[in-house]
A and B are shown apart, each in its own frame.
Chain A
Amino acid sequence: MTDQPVTERSVPARRAAPGGGAGAGRFGGFLRRNLDVTGLCALLVILLAVYSQYDSELFTPSSITILSAQFLPLILAAMGQSTVMLAGGIDLSLGAVLALAMAVFAVRAEDGVAVAAVLALAAAVSTGVANGVLVAYAGLPPIIVTLAASFLWGGVTLVVLPQPGGSVPSGLVDAYNNGWNGLALPFVVVGVVLLLWKTVRTTRFGLSLYAVGGNEHGAYASGIGTRTVKIGAYGLAGVFVGLAGIGLAIQTGSGDATIGTPYTLNSIAASVLAGVSFFGGVGQMRATVLAALLIGLLTNLLLFTGLSPFYQLIMQGAVLIVAIAVKTFATRERTD
């Protein structure tokens, strides 16, 4: 939680005046700079409190393992989507690429998990780079490129795995879902990936990512290779999405070409809820992780409430709309 203001926005032109409310104090300033994260944390605390009413074993190690195993693919997918959105893009092919990575991993896992993971990641990264090249060099709108790519990679996935199948060593499936020597592996993965992001953020590429997303012309004028940065962003998103696909394959012990689709919209919902701007340059990865966790917990909680299925959908939509409305109002004030 030690954050310089630069994390918020690295493009000076768009940075909010530091002393917005006169004499608000250091804590107030911290809150304002971390509105998304604190807001999401507050929501998360409420959600967890309610959740523990239904599931008294919520805070036991086994519950934490099970839940983190379940939420990991969405968290990683949302991180991938956020990376692209930070650079001012959007990725509608995310679900298809996730399924592709899942299929590649499930088909090859029997011959060696490490090789399969490398192949799956390579597949996901190359799809990302391909998207990035089309966006950066052909100058096509990301929404069109990635929509087309979603069909393309959906087809490739079906070639790799025409019907649900493949298999993942059962020891790995068990370790992932039920813990490995009492260690919640998915939890560790989230920590490692966040650390990776933290490192990337501080590099020249990481700073450029925010700059290009915030003000592409400004970034170009100040000597940033905007094309390379965009391609890098899509490629990095590929890493996250590839990991999500591998996670889903391990969670389910198999591959399924049709399972990825809902992740496209869910990852966008998580990113938007986290306060990542559709116009790029604004947003924090920590918030994305929290938002994905919130969405996962919320849908789970609704299952416990015993509401009828259709009302659950209504509630889910309502909560998302309200939460995103909060975000919109908050950013509207900031950009005034």
Chain B
Amino acid sequence: MIGRFTRAVVTVTALGTLAATAACGVDSGDSSGDGDGTSGAKSKALKVGWSTIYLTPSWMQQTDKMIKDDVAKLKGEGKIADYKVFNANGDTSQQIAQIRAMIQQKYDVILVDAGSSTALNPVVEQAANAGITVVNFDSLVTSEKVVRVGTDQKEWGRMMGQWLGDKLGGKGKIIAFNGPAGVAVSEERWQGAEEALKKYPGIKIAANVHSEYNLAPAAQAFASAYSANPDIDGVFSQGGALSAAALQTLVKQKKKLVPITGENYNGFLKLWQQHGKDGFSSLSTAQPNYLGVIALRAAVAKAGGASVPNQIMVPLPKITDENLTQYVKPDQPDDSYPIQELPQPEIDKLIGK
């Protein structure tokens, strides 16, 4: 009997939890207000949502903050009424559900940072067909029916490969240090790099290593590849945390600091600055956080009736031995991505204003 009583109590609690969820939701649902529902007027304040595959990595946190700051400005100008963030937490199926929910809730603008380059195509096209302004940035879908704001990932790889080839004078052994296998960004950067490195037949790729874009797994992956190939002359790395892991390994083992390509990951930039005097050299670029702001501005312009190019390619910044000090932020945590803000006229030019 006691068992049955406990069961009853727990059931009631479960139902209570559910009901509570619902109740909280009703409140915030009401406050957002659906407006008058007439989408005819072009000047009405927009209901904007951002669906992102991840929200926890620091790059995303910074992007989130940048977009929120800009939303505050646009709210002040009466252009945005409501802004919400949806986090799929790495689950692409969940992201599809999110975008569907946003269509049903009649959002005016949907920003998307995609979890898959192909799997979201049907749902973003469905949103676009429903008259919603869909702008995709950072991690891009292949659909051409939505506005896409990004950087050329192949060019990223090409730029790095080219620099490394020149730096090594066209010959030597390198380790290729790539992102996770099967992820479009990682594959594209590597394709670009391979293209550039082909021009230097004297350069041999001793190992091709894959790792998540995180320091801990990257350090392990690099350490094992390096112990098998201690005589390398350079590292093609396609992400900041990967570059930091590689450089750290060389520093710790007191080995020759060979050139390593990189990204604006502050941990790497700090190490680079520290060891620049020991002859360490790099070329880094960045996936700039202001992609999100450009996407937001493009979406607001398009929803307001302006014509916006369907594909907005944002140039990749170049961080070199010379301008490193303008980027590195010694007082900030390793896990941040220092970037100089893009001036408004530049943004306007990109979105075709």
Give A contacts to B, CB under 8 Å: 39, 42-43, 46-47, 50, 53-55, 57, 63, 66, 70, 73-74, 157-158, 161-166, 173, 177, 248, 251-259, 261-263, 296, 299-310, 312-313, 315, 318-319, 322-323, 325-326, 329-330, 332-333, 336
Contact = CB atoms under 8 A, between A and B. Distances in A.
Interface in B89-104: 89-94, 96-98, 100-102, 104
Nearest to B101: A303
Nearest to B82: A306
28 contacts: A46-B15, A50-B18, A50-B19, A50-B22, A53-B22, A158-B181, A162-B181, A164-B184, A251-B96, A252-B92, A254-B119, A256-B116, A258-B92, A258-B180, A258-B182, A262-B91, A302-B21, A302-B25, A303-B97, A303-B102, A306-B29, A306-B84, A309-B89, A310-B55, A310-B87, A315-B17, A322-B10, A325-B10
B3 A43 contact: no
B273 interface: no
Interface residues of B, number: 54
B204 to A, nearest CB: 22
B310 interface: no
Contacts of B117: 163-164, 256
Nearest to B85: A309
Contacts of B126: 177
B6 interface: yes
A256 B93 contact: no
Contacts of A165: 118
Contacts of A300: 97, 101
A302 B26 CA distance: 11
Interface hub of B19, B21, B101 (most chain A Cβ within 10 A): B21
B59 interface: no
A251 B32 CA distance: 31
A39 B96 CA distance: 29
Given A252-B122, A262-B91, A319-B17, A307 B100 contact: no
Given A162-B181, A258-B116, A307 B25 contact: yes
Contacts of B3: 329, 332-333, 336
Given A305-B22, A322-B10, A333 B116 contact: no
A304 B24 CA distance: 11
A256 B141 CA distance: 12
A73 B17 CA distance: 27
A248 B93 CA distance: 9
Contacts of A252: 92, 96, 116, 118-122
B181 A333 contact: no
Given A162-B181, A304-B29, A299 B24 contact: no
Interface string B6-18: 1100110111011
B109 to A, nearest CB: 16
A158 B182 CA distance: 6
B152 interface: no
B86 A43 contact: no
Interface hub of B17, B121, B182 (most chain A Cβ within 10 A): B182
A319 B14 contact: yes
A322 B14 contact: yes
A253 B96 contact: no
A262 B90 contact: yes
Given A252-B120, A254-B119, A39 B184 contact: no
B339 to A, nearest CB: 24
A306 B21 CA distance: 11
Interface hub of A70, A164, A253, A262 (most chain B Cβ within 10 A): A164
Given A43-B15, A257-B182, A306-B84, A54 B25 contact: yes
A163 B187 contact: yes
A8 to B, nearest CB: 17
B105 interface: yes
B349 interface: no
Given A158-B181, A164-B117, A309 B86 contact: yes
Contacts of A254: 116, 118-119, 121
A258 B183 contact: yes
B253 interface: no
B274 interface: no
A54 to B, nearest CB: 7
Interface string B57-97: 00000000000000000000000000011110111111011
Interface in B173-193: 180-184, 187
B93 A74 contact: yes
A102 B157 CA distance: 29
A299 B116 CA distance: 20
Contacts of B90: 261-262
Contacts of A261: 90
B352 to A, nearest CB: 29
Given A251-B122, A319-B14, A163 B7 contact: no
Nearest to A54: B29
Contact of B19 (A46, A70, A308, A330): A46
A322 B18 CA distance: 10
B28 interface: yes
Contacts of B14: 43, 319, 322-323, 325-326
B28 A305 contact: yes
A54 B34 CA distance: 12
B4 interface: yes
B6 A329 contact: yes
Nearest to A73: B93
Contacts of B105: 304
Contacts of B55: 309-310
Contact of B116 (A259, A302, A305, A307): A259
A326 B13 CA distance: 9
Given A252-B92, A307-B24, A308-B85, 19 more contacts: A46-B19, A54-B25, A57-B104, A63-B104, A163-B183, A164-B182, A256-B118, A257-B181, A258-B180, A258-B182, A262-B90, A300-B101, A301-B25, A303-B101, A304-B29, A307-B21, A309-B55, A310-B55, A322-B14
A160 to B, nearest CB: 10
